[in-house]
């Protein structure tokens, strides 16, 4: 039995004493201990070594005090499992030597036995569950098929992922074939994580907000929705689409347990757009953590007042930035913990 199940109770929509809090990328570069491991081991070594992934996952629980852990990993491991080569270059980010640029490249992509191909993640889940000693729940995650296609086709990070969009707009049949392969792999992968013991699942649609609502309805949402349908009876699912305010209504009807929102969508708009019943998660501007601590405390209070204490999970509106002082991150977490109406 979990000692702190606040996060899971908020996902179930129960009345809680205060909102739970965690931060996207909470096991990240703002933590000095993370940076020490980063100097010693490259990115995918950290992902692929269960001992390291476990150590990193547990860091923010001990050092910042969040109410949930999220497994240290990366959304791009799914592409690697599909035999799409992905490197992580320092100060550049993801780099794919052979982006999917047409049918010939697509023909080499496989739908693997994900539990097998990504057994190191499954091992990390099991090891982390033990290390957490039932203190807080463990969140597993995956990238949305659209977001993974963005990297698979563009081959690197981008402001607008124009090559990925061009692929979708000029070769929609190939795009849908790739999206379905990613979806099938992801479902298989996330189900294995559920079996290994994660307590909740978050889908990150980091680049959904680059699409028009009409294109989102074609290239992103149907695939996320397949994943939600495949998982929702087994585990609470959170859907986070950066910039996807326009899709909150449809997301709210999917059976997901919660929806993540970014800071450009006010609490009021998010409640209205999502239908008013579903648990929401977010939405502190990550740059706002650069504010002086008293301002952070004031703004966190205002955020919770606006969302309401129930059906709400306090979080950032996107990943924590590497240049945030640790005591500012702690101030954010503590401000939520000290919340009273």
Nearest CB to a second copy, comparing residues 83 and 264: 264
Q: Six-digit token pair at 186?
A: 């992801």
Nearest CB to a second copy, comparing residues 63 and 287: 287
Nearest CB to a second copy, comparing residues 213 and 308: 213
Q: Give least dist CB 291 to a second copy, A.
A: 4
Q: Give least dist CB 304 to a second copy, A.
A: 14
Q: Six-digit token pair at 61?
A: 């629980």
Q: Give least dist CB 212 to a second copy, A.
A: 4
Nearest CB to a second copy, comparing residues 85 and 162: 162
DSSP structure class, residue 21: B
Q: Give least dist CB 129 to a second copy, A.
A: 34
Closest to 165 in 3D by CA, of 208, 228, 226: 208
Q: Nearest-5° angle of CA 122, CA 124, CA 130?
A: 110
Q: Give least dist CB 69 to a second copy, A.
A: 25
* Helical packing angle, 162-170 and 172-196, nearest 10°: 120
- 159 C-beta neighbours (distance < 10 Å), count: 6
Q: Compute CA 119 distance to the chain's CA centroid, rounded to the nearest angstrom.
A: 20
Strands 87-89 and 93-95: antiparallel
Nearest CB to a second copy, comparing residues 135 and 176: 176
Nearest CB to a second copy, comparing residues 18 and 165: 165
Q: Give least dist CB 217 to a second copy, A.
A: 10
H or E stretch covering 214: helix 213-219
Closest to 142 in 3D by CA, of 88, 76, 208: 76
Residues that bind a second copy (CB under 8 A): 159-162, 165-166, 169-170, 209, 211-215, 243, 245-246, 263-266, 269, 283, 285-288, 290-292, 295, 302, 317, 321, 323
- 246 C-beta neighbours (distance < 10 Å), count: 18
Report helix, strand and coil shares of the chain as percent, to nearest 5. Answer: 50, 10, 35
Nearest CB to a second copy, comparing residues 26 and 283: 283
Q: Give least dist CB 205 to a second copy, A.
A: 13
């Amino acid at each position: 039995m979990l000692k702190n199940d606040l996060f899971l109770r908020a996902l179930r929509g129960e009345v809680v004493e205060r909102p739970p809090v965690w931060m996207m990328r909470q096991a990240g570069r703002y933590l000095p201990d993370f940076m020490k491991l980063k100097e010693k081991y490259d990115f995918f070594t950290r992902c692929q070594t269960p001992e390291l992934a476990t150590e990193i996952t547990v860091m923010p629980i001990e050092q910042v005090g969040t109410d949930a852990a999220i497994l240290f990993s990366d959304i791009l491991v799914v592409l690697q499992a599909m035999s799409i080569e992905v490197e992580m270059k320092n100060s550049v980010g993801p780099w794919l030597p052979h982006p999917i640029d047409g049918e010939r490249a697509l023909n080499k992509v496989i739908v693997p036995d994900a539990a097998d191909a990504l057994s190191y993640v499954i091992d990390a889940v099991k090891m982390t569950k033990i290390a957490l000693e039932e203190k807080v729940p463990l969140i597993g995650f995956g990238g949305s098929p659209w977001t993974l296609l963005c990297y698979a086709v563009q081959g690197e990070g981008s402001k607008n992922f124009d090559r990925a969009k061009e692929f979708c707009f000029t070769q929609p049949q190939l795009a849908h074939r790739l999206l379905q392969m990613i979806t099938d792999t992801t479902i298989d992968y996330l189900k294995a994580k559920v079996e290994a013991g994660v307590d909740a699942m978050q889908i990150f649609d980091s680049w959904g907000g680059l699409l028009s609502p009409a294109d989102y309805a074609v290239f992103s949402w149907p695939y996320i929705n397949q994943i939600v349908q495949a998982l929702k009876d087994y585990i609470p699912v959170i859907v986070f689409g950066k910039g996807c305010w326009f899709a909150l209504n449809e997301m709210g009807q999917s059976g997901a347990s919660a929806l993540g929102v970014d800071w450009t969508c006010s609490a009021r708009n998010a409640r209205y757009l999502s239908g008013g019943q579903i648990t929401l998660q977010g939405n502190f501007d990550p740059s706002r953590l650069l504010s002086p601590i008293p301002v952070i405390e004031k703004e966190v209070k205002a955020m919770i007042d606006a969302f309401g204490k129930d059906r709400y999970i306090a979080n950032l509106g996107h990943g924590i930035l590497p240049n945030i002082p640790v005591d500012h991150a702690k101030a954010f977490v503590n401000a939520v913990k000290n919340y009273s109406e």
